Amino acid sequence: MKTISNESVYEPLRLRGGNGSEHESADGATVEPEEHEPTNTCQRRRARRVGGRRINRSAIRELRLQRDGAVPRRRQQKRSSKATVKIASWNMRGRGLITAVGESMTAENKWLHVNQLVKDKRIGALAVQETHLTDSHVADLHELFGKRLRIIHSSDPTNPSQAAGVAIVLNREQVEADQASYKTIIPGRAILVSLPWSDERPLNILAVYAPNLNKYNDEGENLNALFWTEIIAKLDELPHAQVIDIMLGDTNMVEDGIDRLPTHADNTAAADTLDNLKLMYNLSDGWRHAHPTEKAYTYHQKATGSKSRIDRIYTTEGINRDSLSWSIEQPGVETDHKIVAVTIINMKMPCIGKGRWTFPTYMLGNKKLKSKIKKLGIAFQNEIDGSAYPHEWQGPKESLQRRYARFKRDLREVARNFCKVAVPLIQIQLKDLEKDIQQMLNDPEANKEEKVENAAVLEERLSNLERARHSTKRKSSAATNRLRSEVATDKYWAKSNREIRTKDVIRVLNVPGSAPERSTTDTAEMTEVARKYHNNLQTADAEPGGEELREEKIQQALNSIPEGMDVPDVQKERQGRHRELQTANVAERRL
């Protein structure tokens, strides 16, 4: 079996959502193992679960440090200004209909909703399971959504349109989809995709759809356990040692009893073989690492009310360190699985700001805000025509452009302050329901039956609200497309037919005038280099004495303006000149 070399040595430690050295203290010093700690692989496997739950070594270290009077180190706050990409996984439970945009708005037209999900949630790569796609289906989908999406798929070899199927949907707006490469590991079950990530190497994502935990072959071997063993063997057969950065998908099993409701342990053989894969590629459960004791579930069985967290994302220690947020989200589509997602930072990219603030579309119909904006506009109009000031005072000595800029700043400030308190009702209801569900699932005093029943009711309400919000967006998008498409004078049509691609990012700049010649990747220094370059362009072709000539022309233009002319007179003069030009044009045409 091949070994994978990494910068940090991965110790074979069984953690529920974390990894690290077995015998390493918080300050990095090596400590002697205590009697109850496992010191070899066999002992580690037996000591994997304590009371049905895995050992959380990070918590143990903090308790020891607190016992010894030391203060545990806190995880440093990450900078959120780097380029980020959102990776997600979702079991879509069947292909559904594949029809043209706008022809069918039913829940069965799932790929319309997938396109909307990827766009609204800004997902860069979405791993989907149980896709039931064939090559012809994917060709039809690319015909419909190819401008935004690239679908890399693997079908079940025996029954491609009715069973299994796994795919990764790439958003061209977020990632370099056309430059991605892929390798089918197990047809219909596992696919490996490599995305452009940094100059050193790509980001390798392994999407999986494991068999059901209760299925066995003729020899009595568990198919889920054999699946993980086969993945290890297939990866080992690749010509070059492969690094797996992210493994995600529907595992159809849990590693801990805490991830099931009602709580119970799963097949240990499947957990052991999955452990071998995780240890081989230094992978850990990122969501559990971020939420060590929280109970949350991704799969809900309506018949029994049972829940489980079988959809998971495993990452390396480096990816986990560079992650911003881990989430379990409602898809807004009729299904029994939720979306699991993580946002990761590309530390090799330069710092990128948050961009400009835009007016939320849901506030366009708010009467109170429109009334405030109208008052601001009337006040600005009165300021321009001078009616806001006494006759003996002509107002501040400020140009109209500066006054208009000040009006826009005031307008933006009023809108932003109003948006902070005016949140859509459905969004408030969604947050309240999510909070109630978490409180119910993590209530230590509630019994199992009560948790199952109450959580099922709350989950149904949450799912209905999310579907309603998603459906509203879908209908609004379809109506806009029907109203504004194929209108030559509308920018919407031109924009919808434009190629979608990622934003061009300047990764490095040469520093002019440096000796010896050097380049920089620092964002602040690159900005200064660009500023100096564009400033120098203003005088690059200037002739000697050109500045004096420029000032002379400016003064001539200013002297041509009659003194004491107010704004209404200027407007009347412009209107008169416009009429003269129109009359002259008509006379020329008659001739």
Task: Report whether 299 contacts 308 (CB < 8 A).
Answer: yes
How is residue 401 written in tokens? 């452009």
Q: With beta carbons less than 8 A apart as the criterion, state whether 259 and 307 touch.
A: no
Residue 252 annotated as binding? yes
Which neighbouring-strand residues pair with 314? 247, 285
> How far apart, in Å, are the Cα atoms of 88 and each of 18, 165, 202, 343, 367?
20, 17, 18, 9, 38
End-to-end CA distance of the chain: give it in Å, rounded: 91
Residues 207 and 214: their CA atoms lie apart, in Å, by 21
Specify whether the CB–CB gap between 39 and 83 falls below 8 A: no
Distance separating alpha carbons of residues 19 and 13, to the nearest angstrom: 6
Calculate the CA 139 to chain-centre distance: 26
Contact predicate 493/485, CB 8 Å: yes
CA distance 124 to 260: 29
User: What does the alpha-carbon distance between residue 217 and residue 277 come to, in Å, rounded to a whole number?
Assistant: 21
- What's the token pair of residue 383? 């300021």
The answer to whether 130 is annotated as binding is yes
Asked if 199 and 349 count as a contact pair (C-beta separation under 8 A), the reply is: no
Is 256 labelled as part of a ligand binding site? no
**Contact partners, residue 55, CB within 8 Å, separation at least 6:** 14, 15, 16, 47, 48, 49
Q: Is 159 annotated as a binding residue?
A: no
Query: What is the H or E stretch that residue 88 is in?
Result: strand 83-91
Question: Where would I find the H helices in 389-490?
Answer: 400-421, 425-441, 448-484
Q: Could you list the residues known to form a binding site, using ranges.
A: 91, 130, 250, 252
Q: Could you list the residues known to form a binding site for Mg(2+), using ranges.
A: 91, 130, 250, 252
